[in-house]
A and B are shown apart, each in its own frame.
Chain A
Amino acid sequence: KAGVTQTPRYLIKTRGQQVTLSCSPISGHRSVSWYQQTPGQGLQFLFEYFSETQRNKGNFPGRFSGRQFSNSRSEMNVSTLELGDSALYLCASSFQQAGELFFGEGSRLTVL
């Protein structure tokens, strides 16, 4: 069974640009969550999608958004990038909401 796949693995952007990150969950998993990991703030919850609906959202500005498609694949978008958005963005999937999470290897974003 393939694990959680995130693309791209690494990317570099400049301030003001926007970025879209993709996540393919484990087959059969309907819940996809996104987390931001930085050295200063650690791991922070961004949002969770379940059956194409955003169920929960963390404390991040509106520049951070996401969506989930009918095949459970998810994308997150960050607009008007700031230097502080440089981070490892982790996607996790689970069979049900509030279930065991399986993480991808992450997308490392560097904002210059």
Chain B
Amino acid sequence: AQSVTQPDIHITVSEGASLELRCNYSYGATPYLFWYVQSPGQGLQLLLKYFSGDTLVQGIKGFEAEFKRSQSSFNLRKPSVHWSDAAEYFCATFNSGGGADGLTFGKGTHLIIQP
């Protein structure tokens, strides 16, 4: 079964600094990969997705992610964070065979923004 690992439970970044959130997946075939963001008390909002093609994908709110098959990674990046980016970030995947097990989520990374 596929799995997703987000190694960092918490990350603290100063406002205006760059950000990289790590995500590693475990799956043999080409996975569908997603990054979602969740603000307190809210549902999940899709930031970006990778299905195939260009390995650098652009998302909303200035986020981007790069798919690296050799490293089984799909790290999320932002060049300059804003205080409003403070939230929980989830990496997720399901297999291209139809998502028989639904989306598999990582445990999440809690992003704290320092003024």
Contact = CB atoms under 8 A, between A and B. Distances in A.
B90 interface: yes
- Chain A interface mostly helix, strand, loop or mixed? strand
Interface centre among B44, B92, B106 (most CB of A within 10 A): B44
Interface string A34-48: 010000001111111
Interface residues of B, number: 25
Contacts of B106: 42
Contacts of A47: 102
Contacts of A87: none
B101 interface: yes
Nearest to A44: B105
A103 B45 contact: yes
A105 interface: yes
Nearest to B51: A100
B46 A98 contact: no
A28 interface: no
Interface of B: 32, 34, 36, 41-46, 49, 90, 92, 94, 96, 98-108
Interface string A43-57: 111111000000010
Contact of B99 (A4, A43, A48): A48
Interface string A80-112: 000000000010100001101111111000000
B101 A42 contact: no
A45 B108 contact: no
B101 A4 contact: no
B46 A56 contact: no
Contact of A33 (B32, B42, B96, B102): B102
B44 A58 contact: no
B46 A45 contact: no
Interface in A9-49: 33, 35, 42-48
A56 B102 contact: yes
Nearest to A105: B43
A44 to B, nearest CB: 8
A48 B102 contact: yes
Given A42-B107, A98-B32, A58 B101 contact: yes
A54 B43 CA distance: 23
